[in-house]
Amino acid sequence: MHQLKVKLIEAVLSVMPITIAVTLLYVCGLVNVNVPSFILFLISVVLVVFGLTLFQLGAQVALTPIGEHVGSTMPKINKWWLLILLCFILGVIGTVAEPDLQVLSAQVADALSNHDIKTYLVLVVAVGVGLFLVVAVLRTFLKIKLNIVLIVAYGIVMLLAIFTDQNFLPMAFDGGGVTTGPITVPFLLAIGIGIASVKGGNSKNDDSFGMVSLCSIGPIIAVLVLGLIYGAPSEYSPSIVAKGVETIGDIPYAIVSVIPKYLLEVGITILPIAAFFLVFNFLFIKLPKRQIARIGIGLAYTYVGLVIFMMAVNVGFMPIGIETGVAIGSLGSLSWILIPIGVVIGLVLVIAEPAVQVLGKQVEEVSGGTIKSRTILIALAVGNGISVGLAMVRIVTGIPIWYILVPFYVIALALMFVVPKVYTAIAFDSGGVVSGPMTTTFLLPLALGACMAMGGNVLTDAFGVVAFVAMTPLVAIQIVGLIVKIKQGAIKKRASVLETKTLENEIIEF
């Protein structure tokens, strides 16, 4: 009961900033929707909170233990081909179930007026995660430094980006951002911790991190290869439409009518995880029936919560996000107000994100209390506000995504050589912390609506918001690590000076 209460509070905190922002914009007349559509949005808020609560509780009860059990068992598998195959399967099935990816792929399909591409994009991204989970696990076993693998991987990304159709770039980097979501992050972190706990040694802390960062690169490369092979359509007709309701009586039908669709879709994504665990447990782990039953209950929570979440965001959240963007983008010379609105939303989303609090405590422990969790919160909030603001600048001005992404990644990769490596691992793992469910369900629709209203290119100008949000921690956390290093160096220097003076005084007295 206590855990349910904690998850409920976390869900309310995640959703509340967007709810307040939309309500204020609606009262001020900037969101031009009818009363029934706004009521549907408020009902969706309640459903999203309920769905997130059940989903996160299920993830804690089922997905995290599955990851830990699988991760701690993998080092005991002597056959390398089997280990690689299991890692690949884990990466694929964990990613397919990711709600943020489902939401993003649906919006890409809408933008391209091609709903067949949704399944195709999900599979391509999932394969990318599966391949790089294999890379991440092999890195841990072979004791290869994380910064070396990151430099090589991002080098491949930059090389592919030069030759790939430019319409695919924002979509590819968004694909890397959405894979570090509420299913993948606890799942992959648990696998990393499980493997590191069995390996032991001094590298345990370092090996516990870095799994998510590498797996987020896989989808970027996979989508870029897709663009290199097939290319993006030079002409497309965006069909992104805010599907509101006309009367209050239409609200129940709008909600109930989509339930069968998401019961089936979510079932297809959760079933492979359950099947994999049952087979893996039968062959390797052999948990008691009581623990299996507990994990089964957790998966049921995850399923029900994900169905409610997907239903609510598609019926109420995304339509209001699109309408908000259209309204602001239609202000003409005042459309620049989108930029400060983006900055404010970026700030409050991070401040209200419970996972950021967890990350802050994590860094405080790693630094031995040198850096407080409040410092992490401020760094990520400011960084996220800037990144969302820059994403809105792209919509208003049409600046190519490379002009912003390249400097950030160059700085992030350069910092790897001067900060303690554990901070690099945490930084590159932390994209999923700030790119929470509200990013894909509200911020991206907001960007899409504004871009359409301004007559911009949806593929190149609107997509990329998730990528910007996910790149913020790469620099912010490493700057924190640099501060820690400087502070520790100053402390050692003072200690050395004091020790020298003490020795000199003893010699004089002698």
> CB burial class (10 A; 0-12, 13-18, 19+) of residue 60?
middle
pTM: 0.81
Please give the pLDDT value at position 466: 86
Tokens standing for residue 286: 């052999």
How many distinct helices (H) and strands (E) make up the chain? 24, 0
> In the prediction, which pLDDT does 237 show?
46
For the chain, give the longest Cα–Cα distance: 95
DSSP annotation string for 284-313? II---HHHHHHHHHHHHHHHHHHHHHHHHI
Percent helix, strand, coil in the chain, to 5, is 85, 0, 15
Per-residue model confidence (pLDDT) at position 308:
93
Write the CA distances from 433 to 238, 427, 437, 472, integer angstroms: 31, 10, 10, 10
The H-or-E segment that residue 173 falls in is helix 169-178
SS3 letters across 38-72: HHHHHHHHHHHHHHHHHHHHHHHHHHHHHHHHHHH
In whole angstroms, give the CA distance from residue 323 to residue 210.
Answer: 38
In contact, 300 and 218? CB cutoff 8 Å: no
User: What is d(CA 313, CA 102) in angstroms, rounded to the nearest whole number?
Assistant: 11
The segments of the chain whose pLDDT lies below 70 read: 1, 113-115, 180-183, 185-187, 189-210, 231-244, 352-355, 357-359, 362-363, 365-367, 370, 432-433, 436, 491, 495-510
Distances (CA, A) of 425 to 51, 296, 378: 31, 32, 20
Single out the residue of 58, 16, 5, 3 nearest to residue 307, CA to CA: 58
Closest CA to 172 of 232, 244, 251, 93: 232
> Do residues 54 and 73 touch, judged by C-beta distance below 8 A?
no
Residue 235: predicted pLDDT? 47
Q: Is 288 left (phi over 0), alpha (psi -120 to 50) or beta?
A: beta
User: Which pLDDT belongs to residue 131?
Assistant: 93
Question: What are the b/e assignments for 21-49, b being 16+ CB within 10 Å?
Answer: bbeebbeeebbebeebbbebbebbbebbb
Is there a contact between 442 and 18 (Cβ–Cβ < 8 Å)? Answer: yes
Residues in the chain: 510
**How is residue 96 annotated by DSSP?**
H
Nearest to 138 by CA among 75, 212, 202, 53: 75
Decide if 366 contacts 426 (C-beta within 8 A): yes
- Give, rounded to a whole angstrom, the gap between the first and last alpha carbons of the chain: 68
C-beta separation of 338 from 281 below 8 A: no
Asked whether 411 and 156 are in contact (CB, 8 A), the reply is no
Burial 222-239 (b: 16+ CB within 10 A, else e): bbbbbbeeeebeeeeebe
